[in-house]
Amino acid sequence: MKIAIIGAGNMGGAIARGLAKGSLTKPGDIRVANPSPGKLQALKAEWPDMYVTQDNQQAATGADYIMLCVKPWLVKSVLGALKLNAHQVIVSVAAGITFEELAQCLVEKDTAMFRLVPNTAISELQSMTFIAARGASPEQIKLMCDLFNEMGSAMLIPEEKIAAATSLASCGIAYALKYIQAATQGGIELGIPAKDGMRMVAQSLAGAAALILNNDTHPAVEVEKVCTPGGYTIRGINSLERDGFTNAIINALKASMY
């Protein structure tokens, strides 16, 4: 299986590195194209067997899967310029570009296609990646899920749910990071050095996530375990609610819908 990645920016480069680290494809079967050489040279230095080129067509020729990791406004020109065959599968990471819009760029309108929504934690193999499929076989769908489960967790969703899912997990990782930043600032005010505070808060979030992901539980149940009657934590929780914490999160998610 050969995979072409068009675009070696933050997301394209992270996907290339994640695939190279995985067990389902070899670095020598990964082809990466990018207009400028710097990012290609960095990939080549890490993975000498990886094929890199500044020519999109060279990367795409002979590839089984072609991943478009370019800005949304470049998809039409990049995809339209490629000479593809009917057996090649298109995988788009471009936000907001629908299957129908992708199909309009192709000669073969019934080409198997995927839309992917990873988040930036894919660079740490900890992405929550959403996958939507059109015209793909069960085997192709399983392969795509398996590939991205090796880079975190993958979930198959219908195309119409992509915008909401993007808000929750792709944009949402920024909201989690914003909490770390805010809590770190609070820690400084309480006398905790920023570097120490940031580590404390980040590990606390990792622990909170593990409680949810590894157990059949609910956040409300876990919060209740921490909030003893008359204790300090319940005072903080009530303060968060008085200041509109829940509504602020919900409003942010709604604002980030496209």
pLDDT digit string, tens, across residues 150-200 = 999 999 999 999 999 999 999 999 999 999 999 999 999 999 999 999 999
**What integer is the mean pLDDT of 189-213?**
97
pTM (2 decimals)?
0.91
Q: 109 and 192 share a domain?
A: no
157 and 101 co-located in one domain: yes
Q: Domain check: are 43 and 114 in the same one?
A: yes
What residues does 153 pair with on adjacent strands?
128
Confidence at residue 123, expressed as pLDDT on a 0 to 100 scale: 86
Encoding tokens for residue 227?
């909030």
Domain range holding 105? 3-161
9 and 112 together in one domain: yes
pLDDT band of residue 110 (cuts 50, 70, 90) is confident
Residue 108 reports pLDDT greater than 80: no
For residue 86, the model assigns a pLDDT of 85
In the predicted structure, residue 258 carries a pLDDT above the cut 90: no
At 221, list the tokens: 């149940």
Which class for 5: exposed (0-12), middle (13-18), buried (19 or more C-beta within 10 A)? buried
Q: How far apart are CA 94 and CA 72, in angstroms?
A: 5
Angstrom distances, CA of residue 39 to CA of 10, 94, 105, 149: 9, 19, 27, 25
What confidence score (pLDDT) does residue 257 get? 85
Give the chain's domain count.
Answer: 2
- Residue 181 within any structural domain of the chain: yes
Q: Are residues 144 and 230 in the same domain?
A: no
**Residue 220 phi, psi (nearest 5):** -60, -35
Q: Average pLDDT, whole number, for the chain?
A: 95
Q: What integer is the mean pLDDT of 132-158?
A: 97
pLDDT cut 90: percent of the chain above it: 94
**What pLDDT is stored for residue 188 in this prediction?**
98
Q: Same domain, yes or no, for 47 and 144?
A: yes
Share of the chain above pLDDT 70, in %: 100
209 pLDDT above the threshold of 90? yes
Question: For residues 152 and 132, what is the distance between their CA atoms, to the nearest angstrom?
Answer: 17
77 within domain boundaries: yes
pLDDT confidence of residue 61: 95
Give the domain CATH number at 138. Answer: 3.40.50.720
pLDDT score, position 94 = 93
For the residues 2-18, what does the mean pLDDT come to? Answer: 95
Find the mean pLDDT for residues 20-47: 95
Say which residues have a Cβ less than 8 Å from residue 174's Cβ, sequence separation at least 6.
Answer: none
| Residue recorded with tokens 């119409």 | 160
In a domain, 167, yes or no: no
Helices (H) and strands (E) in the chain, counts: 12, 8
CB 40 within 8 A of CB 17: no
At 1 the pLDDT is 92
Residue 2, pLDDT score: 96
